[in-house]
Amino acid sequence: MTEVAKSPSTANGLSTVENASNPTIEADQTRLATTPREVPVPARRSARLMHLGRLAGGIAGGVMAEGIRRVAKGRLPSAGDLLLTPGNVARLADRLSEMRGAAMKVGQLISMEAGEFLPPELTTVLAKLRDHAHTMPLGQVGEVLRGAWGQDWPERFERFSFQPLAAASIGQVHEAVLKDGRRLAVKVQYPGVRQSIDSDVDNVASLLSWSKALPAKADLAPLLEEAKRQLHLEADYQQEAASLEAYAARLDGDATFTLPTVETSLTTSEVLAMSYVDGMPVEKLADHDQALRNRVATHLLRLSIREFLDWGLVQTDPNFANFRYDAHTGRIGLLDFGATRVYPNERVALFRNLLQSVLVGDRSKLEEYAAHAGYLSLSDTPEYRAAMQELLMDASLPVRHAGRYDFGTSDLASRMSEKLMALRFDQRVWRLPPPDILFLHRKLGGLYMLCARLRAQVDVGSLLAPYTET
């Protein structure tokens, strides 16, 4: 296996490594000029801290250069102007992307949960972290696989592709074929990620605060603590395997969806091996006929309702890449269960009551349940409480709409974002709801955006009717 960790000679950008049993081990050595690119993951805590230190130094250097430039032009810049230059924002995003792990994940979470309160330059760049992660070099992938499977791991495979299918904040996915011909998707965790979660989260939060990237009155402590807890779960691939199997058990017999099955013999805390799920990225259905787009969107929305209101088991990562469509079978593939959350029965019952109060327009009950859920507090002004009720009513518009709701022509997302910004700034309140609500918002908001991408028309009210009828 030692030779796999080296950089073999290449021909046309593609090289092969042969082991004693002669499986073909592919390694794409092509270096792309654009991001994402192949960058080693800093595995030691000291190396990760050094990356952040270099980032802070780079930002400070950018501040000095920008200050000199503006003074030379006769302008007296503010500290915020100097810190949040395009160059400094780009430095921040690129360094977090190089570090991956919790450092990158915190940037993702903050951009998703608090993006409307950040400077637009920072929001745009942080948003790119959701979809663009650098990949590990061949040598680091080999190190992780040797640690998980032993030196002779290539003997188990007919083929293992070192060119990743996808790369994210915690790990990257590779395609492989076993000796018996079964096709696998193998998720390989970046080295050092699990051990550096807490320090990464704390250090990145401090850096964002120091660089004035966050509002002065922003209290992200609950979100950051929840991010640590969630990341520790996501970085345990055996836990993800258990979540996948629990989810599959609830869908047993449902021919609408396809889930990967776990290859237990090859799964460890840092490597997750699963059956390969065929299909095209679901957002590519945007060019297909209306009936198909409506059907797929309806299935996904119905599934999300079942997740929360039936099972209390929610896959909270709505990344479009987690949904595939197989045109041959008409089935929808579901991927990535690392961010699966369990919601207790009493929490589910509370949200059912909240939803019911919205549908019947009972403002008194709506305020009561919103307070219990964590949207409101005793210190909120009457104006803030009334405005929050209006936001919840707006959010439920697809449910309250009679017949099919046209996601493709709706501007609901932008209108809600504008109202929320005005509410927080006008009322001088900058408070996020409890983390379990934020992760639920993340799932529902992502599905809304997917339905909008598909220009789907769905009768959402009829999907929820069984849960709201008294």
Give Cα 319 to chain centroid, integer Å: 6
Q: What percent of the chain has pLDDT over 90?
A: 42
Residue 62 belongs to what H/E stretch? helix 45-72
Of 337, 299, 344, nearest in space to 319 by CA: 337
Q: What is the pLDDT of residue 82?
A: 34
What confidence tier does 84 reach under pLDDT thresholds 50, 70, 90? Answer: very low
Of 240, 228, 236, 225, nearest in space to 322 by CA: 240
**54 CB-near residues (< 8 Å, 6+ apart):** 95
Q: What is the pLDDT of residue 438?
A: 82
Encode pLDDT of 106-151 as tens digits. Answer: 655 555 555 444 555 555 555 555 555 677 888 889 999 999 999 9
> Which segment, 21-30, 264-273, 318-327, is predicted with the most confidence on average?
264-273
Whether residue 259 has pLDDT greater than 60 = yes
Instruction: Mean pLDDT check: name the lowest of 10-14, 140-144, 296-300, 380-384.
Output: 10-14
Cis peptide bond prior to 36, omega within 30° of 0:
yes
What does pLDDT average to over the chain? 76
Residue ranges in 276-362 assigned as alpha helix (H)? 290-305, 345-360
Q: What is the pLDDT of residue 208?
A: 63
User: One-letter amino acid identity for 25?
Assistant: I
What is d(CA 76, CA 45) in angstroms, rounded to the nearest whole number?
Answer: 39
Domains of the chain: 1-30+137-189+236-276 (3.30.200), 45-134+197-216 (no CATH), 278-470 (no CATH)
Q: How far apart are the first and last CA of the chain?
A: 63
User: One-letter amino acid identity for 121?
Assistant: E
What confidence tier does 329 reach under pLDDT thresholds 50, 70, 90? Answer: very high
What is d(CA 319, CA 172) in angstroms, rounded to the nearest whole number?
Answer: 15
Encode pLDDT of 178-216 as tens digits. Answer: 999 999 999 999 888 887 788 777 776 766 665 555 555
**414 CB-near residues (< 8 Å, 6+ apart):** none
Whether residue 228 has pLDDT greater than 80 = yes
Q: What is the pLDDT of residue 55?
A: 40
Catalytic annotation, residues: 317
User: On the CB side of 123, how many CA atoms lie within 13 Å of its CA?
Assistant: 10
Q: Match 């697809």 to its residue by tokens.
A: 398
**370 CB-near residues (< 8 Å, 6+ apart):** 354, 376, 388, 389, 392
Q: Which carries the bigger pLDDT value, residue 101 or residue 222?
A: 222
